[in-house]
Amino acid sequence: MVLPGTLPAEAPVRPHGPTDRQRRQWRRWGVVAGAGAVAFIVLGQLALRSLSGGSYAFIAMQGEYPVTWNHCQAIRYQVNPKGAPEHWQEIVTQAIDDIEAKSGFVFADRGTTPKTRLIATGRYDGTEWEPVLIVWSDRYQDQLLDGSTIGFGGSAPTVIDGVPRYVIGQVTLDTNVRDPQQTQLVLEHELGHVLGLAHVDDSGQLMYPTYHGQDGLGRGDVNGLKRLHDVPCVY
């Protein structure tokens, strides 16, 4: 939460209207890979505006396509519910269902886990990459949640048949946010980063850097998610 009259140094200019108490900041986080098994590929960011309204942007591009997950396989995920709000299962399920419906990507629930960080040193169980990890934390455990930040998330790619694809990802949510609807929206924002969406300057979109009372994914967010899903599969 941002205290009245104060803003973090890197905070974007916020639109008029919402009170300071309503405002929250969320950040994109790129997974730091270990042991060189997963290389983080920085390919730049491409911002686009769709003809049907609303803007969207991608974290990285290769050629004409944004970098994203292979949509011909389900994206597996696990949750560490330590510090999570009551009814966290419902919050996560609703967020995942909404992202699936708006994007076309399919997620597979792999239950709970005690993990708080991705290992990111090789293939999970020798055959698959680790599931996307969803955890709760606070500023005492994770400095990235200091100040006004209430969530961060992202993915890291590796090159498969010459094409960079995201293969591991993590979302960290602030345990101090107890409102179910707000928690769901923060999770959806961070899952947008996991899939490959970047922040936009359009305050009407959920991928705007600051939470100011958005009630769901905007038209630009949905168009961006669909564009990610349009990237051809890698078999």
The predicted pLDDT at position 4 comes to 20
- Of 34-38, 42-46, 48-52, the poorest mean pLDDT is in 34-38
CATH code for the domain of 176: 3.40.390.10
pTM to 2 decimal places: 0.81
Per-residue pLDDT at 45 exceeds 50: no
User: Is there a domain that residue 235 lies in?
Assistant: no
Under a CB-based contact definition with an 8 Å cutoff, are residues 39 and 159 in contact? yes
User: Is there a domain that residue 185 lies in?
Assistant: yes
The predicted pLDDT at position 80 comes to 97
Quote the domain boundaries for residue 42: 21-229
User: Is there a domain that residue 6 lies in?
Assistant: no
User: Is there a domain that residue 10 lies in?
Assistant: no
Name the pLDDT band for 82 (thresholds 50, 70, 90). Answer: very high
Per-residue pLDDT at 48 exceeds 90: no
What are the CA-CA distances from residue 211 to residues 25, 199, 216 (Å)?
6, 12, 11
The predicted pLDDT at position 32 comes to 33
User: Is there a domain that residue 79 lies in?
Assistant: yes
The predicted pLDDT at position 231 comes to 95
Name the pLDDT band for 43 (thresholds 50, 70, 90). Answer: very low
Mean pLDDT computed over 38-58: 56
Question: Whole-angstrom Cα distance, residue 79 to residue 84?
Answer: 10
pLDDT digits (tens, 9 = 90+) for 98-145: 999 999 999 999 999 999 988 755 555 556 788 999 999 988 888 888
User: Is there a domain that residue 25 lies in?
Assistant: yes
User: Is there a domain that residue 16 lies in?
Assistant: no
Question: Whole-angstrom Cα distance, residue 81 to residue 65?
Answer: 35
Per-residue pLDDT at 228 exceeds 50: yes
Give 58 or 31, the one with higher predicted confidence: 58
Per-residue pLDDT at 202 exceeds 80: yes
pLDDT digits (tens, 9 = 90+) for 10-37: 322 222 233 333 344 554 333 333 323 3
Per-residue pLDDT at 38 exceeds 70: no
User: Is there a domain that residue 152 lies in?
Assistant: yes
Domain count, the chain: 1
Give 39 or 79, the one with higher predicted confidence: 79
